[in-house]
């Protein structure tokens, strides 16, 4: 039974691995160039994990920072949004919770690709509203380089690794940091636009030989672009309307950092000027589910996002899955 409690952000943290890879680095092994990558994606550099590092490692680092930001030593549950779990089985979240010293709290993974953080927010808010937990550590982490074909210039130049996290506690919907209305959607009929064809039960249940390329991430870029722009625009409008906001009420727009062209197209359709748009894609690339919380953490630390700012969040990714939500930004410490 719902208690009417809201989920309120009380801490935030992020982490990217120290291995910075520039466009010039990639052009040494791919048929590409700095100018080509910048013009099509807006990315100049990104961070890659090194051998032996996993999604769980990234998640732990971001989780530690978020807990410190919240001044919390314990939470009631852990939710991990990821497309690149440490293993197919079990979920990575329980291991992350154990490594963070959180004991035997409920912990589970959410798989919604680049929309994972927003789906994770809905899951965490649901746990709090239902009274299952008074506080939740939500982490979004991806080591996308583990599923990207290093020889495919259409994806290898875009995707990168990183993690972002927030701590949520039970509170009032009127408080700064309270998660506003969340709007989510999906269209499985278009799942072929973004997929890793092999490795799951569908492929494993057959005796057909596996094309090595099918073990990697595939994306149909042109079709994905069109759907991303349409869905992120429409779901953003719906979320703002449910919150009682007009677009001119939005102070900051924090969209999944998919591609600079997509971000520009969505913001233009929404009528949001450049000075309201938060972006870090130039420095970190597309970090999957980690994208939005990583952006929020960096913007808070750099002063581009301040307490009281009305923030519109939106994302789009494989599934296809998309979402949007609102939050009035709270006063937060970053580490």
| CB-CB contact of 122 with 141 (8 Å) | no
Catalytic residue among 23, 47, 114, 218: 114
d(C-alpha 283, C-alpha 43), whole Å: 7
Count of CA atoms in the C-beta half-sphere (13 A) of 251: 12
Is residue 286 annotated as a catalytic residue, yes or no? yes
Cβ atoms < 10 Å from Cβ of 127: 23
Please report, in angstroms and rounded to a whole number, the separation of the first and last CA atoms in the chain.
Answer: 36
Is residue 89 annotated as a catalytic residue, yes or no? no
Residue 329 token pair: 């930004």
Alpha helix (H) ranges present in 163-220?
201-204
Catalytic residue among 47, 218, 256, 280: 256
Backbone angles phi, psi at 126, to 5 degrees: -65, -40
> Which helix (H) or strand (E) covers residue 135, if one does?
strand 135-143
What would the DSSP string read from start to end of 235-260?
HHHHHHHHTT--GGG-SEEEE--S-H
Catalytic residue among 23, 259, 280, 286: 286
Is residue 256 annotated as a catalytic residue, yes or no? yes
Q: Is 235 helix (H, G, I), strand (E, B) or coil?
A: helix
Closest residue by Cα to residue 66 from 105, 146, 9, 148: 9
Residue 218 token pair: 């595939």
Q: How far is CA 174 from the centre of its chain?
A: 25
Catalytic positions: 114, 256, 286
């Amino acid at each position: 039974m719902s208690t009417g409690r809201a989920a309120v952000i009380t801490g935030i943290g992020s982490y990217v691995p120290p291995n910075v890879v520039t466009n010039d680095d990639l052009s040494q092994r791919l048929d590409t160039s700095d100018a080509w990558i910048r013009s099509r994606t807006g990315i100049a550099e990104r961070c890659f994990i090194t051998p032996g590092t996993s999604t769980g490692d990234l998640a732990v680092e971001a989780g530690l920072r978020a807990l410190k930001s919240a001044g919390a030593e314990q939470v009631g549950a852990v939710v991990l949004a990821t497309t690149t779990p440490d293993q197919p089985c079990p979920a990575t979240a329980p291991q992350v919770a154990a490594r963070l010293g959180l004991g035997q709290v409920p912990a589970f993974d959410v798989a919604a690709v680049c929309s994972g953080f927003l789906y994770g927010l809905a899951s965490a808010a649901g746990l709090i509203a239902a009274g299952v937990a008074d506080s939740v550590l939500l982490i979004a982490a991806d080591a996308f380089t583990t599923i990207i074909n290093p020889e495919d210039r259409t994806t290898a130049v875009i995707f990168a690794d990183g993690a972002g996290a927030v701590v949520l506690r039970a509170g009032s919907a009127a408080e700064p940091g309270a998660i506003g209305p969340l709007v989510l959607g999906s269209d499985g009929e278009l799942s072929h636009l973004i997929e890793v064809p092999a490795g799951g039960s569908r492929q494993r249940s057959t005796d057909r030989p596996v094309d090595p390329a099918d073990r990697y991430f595939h994306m149909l870029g042109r079709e994905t672009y069109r759907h991303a722009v349409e869905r992120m625009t429409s779901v953003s409008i719906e979320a703002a309307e449910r919150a009682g906001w007009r677009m001119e009420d939005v102070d900051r727009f924090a969209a999944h950092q998919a591609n600079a062209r997509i971000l520009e197209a969505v913001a233009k359709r929404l009528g949001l000027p450049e000075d309201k748009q938060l972006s870090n894609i130039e420095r970190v690339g597309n970090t999957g589910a980690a994208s939005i919380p990583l952006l929020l953490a960096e913007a808070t630390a750099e002063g581009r996002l301040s307490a009281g700012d009305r923030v519109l969040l939106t994302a789009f990714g494989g599934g296809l899955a998309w979402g949007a939500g609102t939050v009035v930004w709270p006063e937060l410490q970053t580490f």
